[in-house]
Structure 1
Amino acid sequence: MNIADFEYNLPKELIAQEPADKREDSRLMVVFCKEKKWDHCYFKNLIDYLKSGDILVVNDTRVIPARLKGIKKGDGKVEILLVCQRGINLWDVFVRPGKKVKAGDVIQFGSSLAGVIKEITPGRGRLIEFVTNGDFKKILEEIGEVPLPHYIKRTGPPTQRDKIRYQTIYASKDGAIAAPTAGLHFSDEIMQEIIKKGVEVFTITLHVGPGSFRPIRLNDISMHKMEGEYFEISSNTFQEVMSARKSDRRVIAVGTSTVRALESAVNIPGFNGGSRWTDLYIYPGYKFKTIDALITNFHLPHSTPLVLVCAFAGMELIFKIYQEAIDKCYRFLSFGDAMLILT
């Protein structure tokens, strides 16, 4: 299967630069795969498509303020993006501009934090050891910036509104460098309505990393390799999901990260809860074992989330839906609108 099969023309004006006024004010396209038809509504109408006994699974990862701006002595400004913690104060990071930062260099991030480059890693990567007399997590919250995607443009640093809205209301476990964006549409009110209707809500954790947003660059998409991401699923959540599947109750995943966590777990022999790393890459031909429906945003061409959605609902239908979304001026990507895919 060729990467060109996952290309479409996304008008720049449809890339959402700001979230909807209220989380639930985003539009929602409800896709019925068997009937090959769809409805147009708003996310606040999601409740109309759920029923008592459904299982809703969300990703409770919390986006950390992973972007740090610093100064390398004698060589100007440097920006880093935290990617993965490797030890106490030891992190894999991306560096920009990468060419000017070498092993042994010291970068100063304000008055309370410095970093020593320990080694160069593949791509734009570096291994950095932070040096501080204070609490690293507290300092990061004070001076770090929310890592908005490159396609969301700001004339200055991200705003306080960005910090709030680029985070799900149920985010609780630090570790992501990108939001599980399908969850951004849920408000407290929507969650209360869902629970009141008899839908059971369960959480998993998958810390979204660069593996989720790096584009596929190989012509043969089956050759693409995902970077590993950490996930956790409790024994109770896993058992409830598998029990629901056996009893014909619907399991609805909120976001592609939730799908990858659940599918990774079910593929591990004897798994009954716990934490692992996953590099699971889902593309057309994959047989899903844990979910019946998916809530997801509209994704970039050549992206692994788009490929996963095509694997779930079928390429022909998905690209018809995407064209419909473009024709109807839906808003795309992280701060954009959503779809509910029902198989």
Structure 2
Amino acid sequence: MRVADFDYFLPEELIAQKPVYPRDISRLMVVDRKKGTIEHRIFKEVVGYLHPGDVLVLNNTRVLPARLFGIKKDSGARIEVVLLKRLSMSRWEALVKPGKRVKPGTTIIFGDGELTAETVTMTESGGRILHFSYQGVFEDILHRLGKMPLPPYIKSELDDQERYQTVYASREGSAAAPTAGLHFTTELLDKISSSGVQICHVLLHVGLGTFRPVKVSEIEEHKMHAEYYEIEEKSANIIQNAVAEGRRVIAVGTTSVRTLETVMQEHGKIIPTSGWTDIFIYPGYEFKVVNGLITNFHLPKSTLLMLVSAFLGKDLTMKAYETAVKEKYRFFSFGDAMLIL
């Protein structure tokens, strides 16, 4: 299956640069998989499409202020670092820019020198392994010096850094937000819960895969970067019971989908577990848990668009995206949403 088949035309002006306020007044495209119909709503109207007994699954990861700006010790050249994965107390996998200036042995200084990093090695994907030196608590220093690692297509800084966090974010560790969840307010979640929908959480720390384009020509040749996930006993039981009873499990975001499809065991059971997943979902995949999906509009030729195509069907997905462009929906992280049922 060709990666080029998942391309589409997107005018640059439709790439959302700022989030809307309040969160739940973004637009919502509702797509019915069986009927092939497309409706246009406001996100807060999502409650009308959820039924008592449904399970809504949220990814409660929290984004680290993982974007750091430093200088090379030997030359003073400006270096940008985005932390992706913690390997030990002092070692991280990271993206660096410009990469050609950061070779093994390079030392980068951040702030007034309270944080330094030595480049240990390069990774296969073009990143770096950095060894940090500091006094005190690393997370405290990171919160003082770091900024939100916004995607490169967003050109301006956020006025409110919390707007790149979901209202239910609680487990810090992501290099990017699970953006489908950015549309929810606390009030909307309360309304959904009051309607008889069960809400539960899983965890997937969003990592390198968010930043890396698919570089192969055939989908089957692409290798996903592993990301850390967890599902606790309460959520495992809620989701297991819904699957057993034939009730709908609706995932908020592709990260929740990947977690749910990872934790389903071969014997059809979901148990409390944690680990690293590199599951790659593309057309032809048979879903074992997820019956509905809330997601944003994704980049052309991305693994996220391929996952949506696996769930919705490629033809209907591309029709929905063509409609979204025609109707001037807002795209990507701060854009509008799609509900697929």
Asked whether the two chains share a fold, i.e. TM above 0.5, the reply is yes
Matches within 5 A, 1:186-265: 186-265=184-263
Q: Which amino acid aligns with 2:74?
A: G
Which residue of structure 2 aligns with residue 84 of structure 1?
Answer: 85
Q: Tell me the C-alpha RMSD between the 2 structures.
A: 1.3
Aligned match of 1:10: 10
Provide the residue aligned with 1:52 in structure 2: 52
The TM-score normalised by the length of structure 1 is: 0.96
Q: Which residue of 2 aligns with 1:130?
A: 132
In structure 1, C-alpha distance between the alignment counterparts of 2:115 and 2:4, rounded to whole Å: 45
Q: Contact between 2:180 and 2:253, CA under 8 Å: does it hold in 1?
A: yes
1:99 Cα offset (Å): 1.4
Residue pairs, 1:1-343, within 5 angstroms: 1-75=1-75, 76-111=77-112, 112-154=114-156, 158-161=157-160, 163-267=161-265, 272-342=271-341
- TM-superposition CA deviations, 1:227-256 (whole Å, max 9, x none): 000000112212221221221211100000
In 1, Cα distance between equivalents of 2:153 and 2:340: 25
Contact 2:240 2:270 in 1 (8 A): no
**How far apart, CA to CA, are the structure 2 residues paired with 1:307 and 1:124?**
23
- Percent of aligned pairs with the same residue? 49
Q: What code does the residue aligned with 2:96 have?
A: V
Q: Distance in 2 between matches of 1:170 and 1:334?
A: 17
Measured in 2, the distance between the counterparts of 1:172 and 1:210 equals: 20
Alpha carbons 1:57, 1:202 under 8 Å: kept: yes
Range 218-227 or range 285-294, more displaced: 218-227
CA distance in 1, matches of 2:270, 2:318: 35
Letter in 2 for 1:312: F
Contact 2:237 2:270 in 1 (8 A): no
When structure 1 is superposed on structure 2, of 127-136 and 285-294 the one drifting more is 127-136
Q: How far is the alpha carbon of 1:7 from its aligned partner?
A: 0.6
Shift of 1:74: 3.2
Equivalent residue of 2:333, what SS?
A: coil
Aligned partner letter, 2:97? R
Which stretch shows the higher mean deviation, 240-249 or 132-141?
Answer: 240-249
- Whole-angstrom CA distance in 2 between matches of 1:215 and 1:99: 19
The total of aligned residue pairs comes to 338
Contact 1:212 1:226 in 2 (8 A): no
How far apart, CA to CA, are the structure 2 residues paired with 1:6 and 1:106? 41
Unpaired segments ≥5 residues, structure 2: none
What is the identity, as a one-letter code, of the residue corresponding to 1:110?
G
Q: For the Cα contact (< 8 Å) 1:213–1:303, is it kept in 2? A: no
- Measured in 2, the distance between the counterparts of 1:103 and 1:8 equals 39
3-state SS of paired residue (2:210): helix
Question: Post-superposition shift, 1:212?
Answer: 3.5
Deviation at 1:268, TM superposition (A): 5.8
